[in-house]
Amino acid sequence: MSMMLRGLMGACAMTALAVPAVAETLTIATVNNGDMIRMQKMTKPFTDANPDIQLEWVTLEENVLRQRVTTDIATKGGQYDIVTVGNYEVPIWAKQGWLLALEDMGEDYDAADILPPIAEGLSLDGKLYAAPFYGESAMIMYRTDLMEKAGLEMPERPTWDFVFDAARKMTDKSAEVYGICLRGKAGWGENMAFLTSMGASYGAPWFDMEWKPQFSGEAWKKALTDYVAVMNEAGPPGASSNGFNENLALFQTGKCGMWIDATVAASFVSNPKDSTVADKVGYALAPEGEKPQMWLWAWTLAVPSSTDAPDAAKKFVAWATSKAYTEQVAAEEGWANVPPGTRTSLYENPAYLEAAPFAKPTLDSIMSADLKNPTTVEVPYIGTQWVGIPEFQALGTAVGQQFSAALAGQASVDQALQMAQQIAEREMAKAGYPK
C-alpha cells in the first residue's frame, strides 16, 4: 500500500472519529417575543452538551406562525421538530394526534413543579403534550401618581365598578391622559381575549351546555354596555384599533391611567429603558364581577408527531423549560428577565420575588384561573379568554368585529350582540354542534 493511500485512509479514520456520528438539525418554530429571543441567544450550554444536535430557528409573527405550523402539522409536512404553540392549541392538537406526549423528560425535569393550572391546560388524559416556556394571566397595571391624584386607593382585587369609577376620575383629556386602556382591535386573540374573560366575569358564557350561543343574554348586554361606556368616556381616541402593542405604547408614554392586560406586559412597563412611567406603576389583580376575571395563557414548546428527530427534540424541550435554564437566565440577565409563570419553585425564590414586583399578582392571577369553570354557570368548553374548540379562531374574530364596531360607534350594543348571536348560531350549526 502506498504511503499516500495509507495517509488518506488514516485521515478518513481520524475524521470519522473526530466528527460525531451524524449531526441532527432541529428546526424550531417560535414567536418573536423577548423571552423567546433571549432563549435563542442562550443555547450554548445545550449545544455544548449535545454536539450532535444543531439548532435552526424559524421566528415568525404569532399569527403567521399559527397558520404556517397548522398547515405543516395537519399535512404531516415534517418541516418542524419543535413548535411554539399556545395552550389554546395544545389540547386540540393532542386530540388530533398531532403532538407527541412528553413523558420521558429526564430525571431532574421535575414536572410536578409546573404550576397546576398551566399543567392542566397542556394535558390530555393525564399526559403532558407541551412543556410551558412562560405563562401569563391578566392583571391591572395602573399609574400610582394618577390614582393618588384622583383620591383613590387601588384594592388588591377591585370590582369592575371601582375600575370604571377610577377610570373616569383619572381621565384628563386636555392633557391626553385617559383613565383606562383596553383592547378594542377585532380578533380572537385581541379584543375577544379581553371581552371573553370580562364577559365570563359578568356571568356571560359563550355557549350553554347544549352549545347554544348566549349573546342574547342579559349578562352579555351588561358587560358590553359597561365596556363601551367606559371606553367612550375614559378611553383613548381610536380605541377600536388598539391591541396589546398600541396600549403598551400608550401606557409607556404616560397616556393611560389603567391598563388591564396580560401579566407579561408588567416587565415592559416597569423597564425604565422603554417606559417613561416605569417608577410610577402599581399592580393589582384583575377586576371582579360575579366572578374574578380569569385569564390563562402559556407559550409552550411541543414536539409534532411528524418530526423525524423525536428524542433530540424532547431533549431540547426538557432543557429549555427546565429549572436549570431559568437559573442560567438569572445568572446572565438577572432574575427579572427569567420566563415567568410556569414553575412553583420560581415563586418560592426570594431573589425572584425581590427582583420582580409583579411576581405575586402574576402568581395569584394564574393560580385563580380555572379553565374548566371560567364563569358562573356550567359550560361545555374549557378556556378563560378563549373557547377550546377549533372553530373559535374564525368565530372569535367574526364576533370581535361586531364588538369592535360597537366600540367605534358604527353599531349599537344591541345590534352588535344580535349580530354576534346570529353569526355564532350559523357557524355552530355549520360545524355540526352539538357534537
Partner 1 sequence: MARKVTNSRRWTFTILAWGVALLIFFPILWTILTSFKSEADAIASPPKFLFFDWTTENYAEVQSRSPYFRHFMNSVIISVGSTLLGLLIAIPAAWSMAFQPAKRTKDLLMWMLSTKMMPAAGVLIPMYLLFRSWGLLDTRLGITVVLMLINLPIITWMLYTYFREIPSEILEAARMDGASLMKEILHVLTPMAVPGIASTLLLNVILAWNEAFWTLNLTTSRAAPLTTFIASYSSPEGLFYAKLSAASTMAIAPILILGWFSQKQLVRGLTFGAVK
Judged by the rule CB under 8 A, the positions of this chain that interact with partner 1 are: 27, 29, 31-34, 37, 40-41, 56-64, 67-68, 71-72, 75-80, 189-190, 243-245, 248-249, 252-253, 255, 262, 264, 268, 273-276
CB of 62 to partner 1, least distance (A): 6
Q: Which is nearer to partner 1, 275 or 368 (CB)?
A: 275
Q: Which is nearer to partner 1, 29 or 198 (CB)?
A: 29
Using CB atoms within 10 Å of the CB of residue 113, give its burial: 0 to 12 exposed, 13 to 18 middle, 19+ buried: middle
Strands 24-31 and 53-60: parallel
CB of 266 to partner 1, least distance (A): 13
CB of 84 to partner 1, least distance (A): 12
Residue of 248, 264, 259 whose CA lies nearest to 337: 264
Cell of residue 193, nine digits: 381575549
8 Å CB contact between 278 and 200: no
Q: Which is nearer to partner 1, 68 or 157 (CB)?
A: 68
**Interatomic CA distance for residues 125 and 311, integer angstroms:** 22
Cell of residue 241, nine digits: 384599533
CB of 264 to partner 1, least distance (A): 7
Residue whose grid cell is 423528560: 105
CB of 256 to partner 1, least distance (A): 12
**Interatomic CA distance for residues 103 and 97, integer angstroms:** 15
Cell of residue 12, nine digits: 478518513
Residue of 293, 319, 290, 139 whose CA lies nearest to 203: 290
Strands 131-136 and 127-128: unpaired
Q: Which is nearer to partner 1, 154 or 312 (CB)?
A: 312
Q: Which is nearer to partner 1, 70 or 418 (CB)?
A: 70
Q: Which is nearer to partner 1, 31 or 146 (CB)?
A: 31
CB of 64 to partner 1, least distance (A): 6
CB of 239 to partner 1, least distance (A): 15
CB of 73 to partner 1, least distance (A): 11
Q: Which is nearer to partner 1, 171 or 275 (CB)?
A: 275
Q: At a CB cut-off of 8 Å and minimum separation 6, what does 196 contact?
A: 206, 383, 384, 385, 386, 387, 396
Residue of 232, 247, 237 whose CA lies nearest to 168: 232
Q: Which is nearer to partner 1, 272 or 350 (CB)?
A: 272
Cell of residue 243, nine digits: 391591541
Three-state DSSP at 292 gives strand
**Interatomic CA distance for residues 202 and 159, integer angstroms:** 11
